[in-house]
Amino acid sequence: MFSGKGSWRTREVYEETQTAWRGLINDPRFLVRLEEVRNVDAKSANELTKITVMKLLGLFDSARSPYPGAITNEVVCQDDFKPKGGVFTNTVGVDVSFYTGYLDSRMQYGSCVEDQVAYHGSLGIFYCPNIREWYEVELIAPKGKTEPSDWYKSLFYTVHCRNPGISSGLTF
């Protein structure tokens, strides 16, 4: 899938079961947070994608202040800190939901203040119907050491799904 994927090394495994793998991977240029769900049909994969995007974007919705009063009645995140993205079909026909945003020191989205931003994240979500696998791939780089967001997006333009039983080492 990505050039240099052969240099990926597992840093931490969060979950490893018959139906899923979740973990953090080291790449020389960035960290990769990966979730793979196996043996999933297209309808379920679509729901997983919707839920994942809703959780991400929902963090940045305006909300009533827990302490309304003299300063403000609403908690709002400036647009600069909100994730940007959408869906595109890449060069080999895979639909990719792609978002970029900022993460805090615990590598979580939701930072709306510059001094809380520690990382830049590029998130790609896609489904491989031929092997019934759903992927959430997040590229995480330290703030200030990131490539332009278009560079990260370009990595998802060539994502393709392997055929069952064939593995090239660069595909999912």
pLDDT tens figures, 7-66: 788 899 999 999 999 999 998 888 999 999 999 999 999 999 999 999 998 888 766 656
Domains, the chain, in order of start with CATH, read 5-156 (3.40.1000)
pTM score = 0.84
Q: Angle at the Cα of 129 (from 98 to 122), degrees rounded to 5?
A: 15
Which tokens hold the place of 13? 């495994």
pLDDT tens figures, 92-148: 888 999 999 999 999 999 888 899 999 999 999 999 999 999 999 999 999 887 666
